[in-house]
């Protein structure tokens, strides 16, 4: 099967989009969602305002595209932490390697929280955010299903989606608390690992229903 290479114009457009997204990430991080503007993004990227609008319909579109990037990166990182070593060499959730939370993660969480408050008052945006949240849950649930299968935990003992929901809630809750208490950020991975292992232990030790 032959593949068609992108044209030079398509490659240039993709490059422009990447540069605009990189600039948007910086501007949003520095200014917050509400104070950021398309003009500031264009200036930071070295493009005209028209160039931004030829690639993204609005500031909302820019942010949602960045959110998609973050989702892809987070899912890939979680998969690597869970499965980078053979199953017979691992011992439980994350194999003792806990997800590291950096300053950028806390900054992004603050930015995402600001956007969620905006989306809560805008029905169309709210549904687009909800769709991404469902996608995250589906992706993490699939990873957890693989993880639980390797541990020999049956679905009726611990549903993968339930497992994923709890771990996502722990991560979100700890990050929210770390906005006021930065030292808690270092405990996110530890708490996810502790809770995950406790759930697996309970599922494997409880009598079958």
Tens of pLDDT, residues 137-192: 999 999 999 999 988 899 999 999 999 999 999 999 998 998 899 888 888 888 88
Tens of pLDDT, residues 107-133: 888 899 999 999 999 999 999 999 999
Q: Provide the pLDDT for residue 209.
A: 57
CA distances from 18 to 23, 24, 65, 110, 173 (A): 9, 10, 10, 23, 31
Q: Exposed (0-12), middle (13-18) or buried (19+): which is 52, by Cβ within 10 Å?
A: buried
Fold for the domain defined by 1-56: Arc Repressor Mutant, subunit A (1.10.10)
Tens of pLDDT, residues 92-104: 565 545 555 566 6
Spans of all domains in the chain: 1-56, 59-205
Tens of pLDDT, residues 44-72: 999 999 999 999 999 999 999 999 999 99
């Amino acid at each position: 099967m032959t593949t068609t290479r992108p044209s030079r114009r398509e490659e240039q457009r993709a490059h422009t989009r990447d540069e605009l997204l990189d600039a948007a990430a910086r501007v949003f991080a520095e200014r917050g969602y509400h104070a950021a503007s398309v003009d500031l993004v264009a200036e930071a990227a070295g493009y005209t305002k028209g160039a931004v609008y030829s690639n993204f319909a609005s500031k909302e579109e820019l942010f949602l595209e960045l959110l998609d990037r973050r989702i892809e990166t987070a899912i890939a990182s979680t998969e690597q932490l869970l499965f980078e070593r053979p199953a017979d060499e691992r011992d439980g959730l994350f194999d003792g390697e806990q997800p590291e939370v950096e300053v950028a993660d806390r900054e992004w969480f603050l930015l995402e929280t600001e956007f969620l408050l905006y989306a809560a008052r805008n029905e169309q945006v709210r549904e687009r955010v909800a769709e991404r949240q469902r996608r995250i849950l589906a992706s993490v649930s699939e990873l957890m299903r693989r993880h639980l299968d390797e541990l020999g935990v049956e679905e009726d003992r611990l549903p993968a989606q339930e497992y994923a929901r709890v771990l996502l809630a722990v991560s979100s809750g700890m990050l929210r608390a770390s906005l006021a208490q930065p030292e808690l950020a270092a405990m996110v991975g530890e708490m996810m690992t502790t809770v995950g292992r406790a759930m697996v232990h309970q599922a494997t030790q409880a009598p079958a229903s």
